[in-house]
Amino acid sequence: MTKVAVLGAGGWGIAISKLLSGNGHKVTLWEFDPQEMRRLSTLKEHKQKLPGIILPDAVEITDRIDLAVAQAELLVLALPSHTIRGVIKEVSRLPLKNPLVVNLSKGIENETLLRMSEVLKQELPLPLHENITTLSGPSHAEEVARNIPTTVVVAGFKEKVAKRIQQIFMNPNFRVYTNSDLIGVELGGSLKNVIAIAWGICDGMKLGDNSKGALLSRGLAEIIRLGEKLGAKRETFAGLSGLGDLVTTCISQYSRNRFVGEEIGKGKTLKEVESKMVMVAEGIRTTRSAYQLSLKHKVEMPITQQVYRILFEGKKPSIAISELMVRDPKSEIWS
């Protein structure tokens, strides 16, 4: 049995707490808002974020982060990417028992353009750096919480740590692979959200299967271009954290990023869409980071560029699509 602290009581935090508790581990779930914590402790359910899913009584719920991480052997970060630095900075000031660290966030920090493992390395004590991992792949909380067969991948700085995480998380409904390419796993999980927004825009505009098939393949092509430029392995993007997560996020009814795009494709502004959302759509912030990374590293990412301009510059989706279609002719395969 492993003593686990799950930081973040959104849908993913609840689903992972349920999974790990079911695997026989001792789980403490941290919710930063005292009122939300009391409600979750009483009801054992979050009716807005994960309706119908009841947390096991064995899962302890607290709003005190010091109690959550005390003696923890594993820290699971089920937090939006823009909050991870602040939370982990606080955690690093507390007494820690050399825990393993699993990041579940699929984002790139706007201010620094760093991946989450890089943020964690900056904030955690040096002895914990080799304990950092990221778990990614096609894994909506709504399905994980209902024991629908799910397969993911874990990557880290040390193979032995990734294998330990694999053992802790795996069960008959949740299969975990390991991967040595941490850069690729993190970039695939983050950048696919930008393409999922574009997919949603296509749905909102009622475009056809031809359009979305092209979007999927060309979107993956530009993810690979940026990934390779940043040191990722090309084959990683054909795997669970690449193509697997990309397809799932684009087509799923649970995808918040696809929902954002769909609403914008119907004519709403980003401000209007965000005002009605309960949970975070990571792709919005990731679009900023991806666009800036493409400029910084001189990587051509036309779909990402157009999504950025639609979200943040008010460009009409119809104009963006037209500009994508009339770009200069070129070979499909190029670098």
Q: CB count, 10 Å around CB of 180?
A: 14
139-35-103 Cα angle (round to 5):
30
The dihedral built from the CA positions of residue 86, 105, 33 and 67, taken in this order, carries a sign that is: negative
Amino acid residing at 239: G
The dihedral built from the CA positions of residue 190, 287, 76 and 169, taken in this order, carries a sign that is: negative
Q: Which is the catalytic residue, given 3, 192, 266, 315? A: 192
DSSP string, 162-229: HHHHHHHH-BTTEEEEEES-HHHHHHHHHHHHHHHHHHHHHHHTT--HHHHHHHHHHHHHHHHHHHHH
182-249-285 Cα angle (round to 5):
70
Q: Report the alpha-carbon distance of residue 121 to residue 9 in Å, rounded.
A: 23
- The answer to whether 268 is a known catalytic residue is no
Rounded to whole angstroms, what are the CA distances from 304 to 77, 108, 219, 261, 312?
Answer: 27, 14, 8, 13, 12
Residues annotated as catalytic are 192
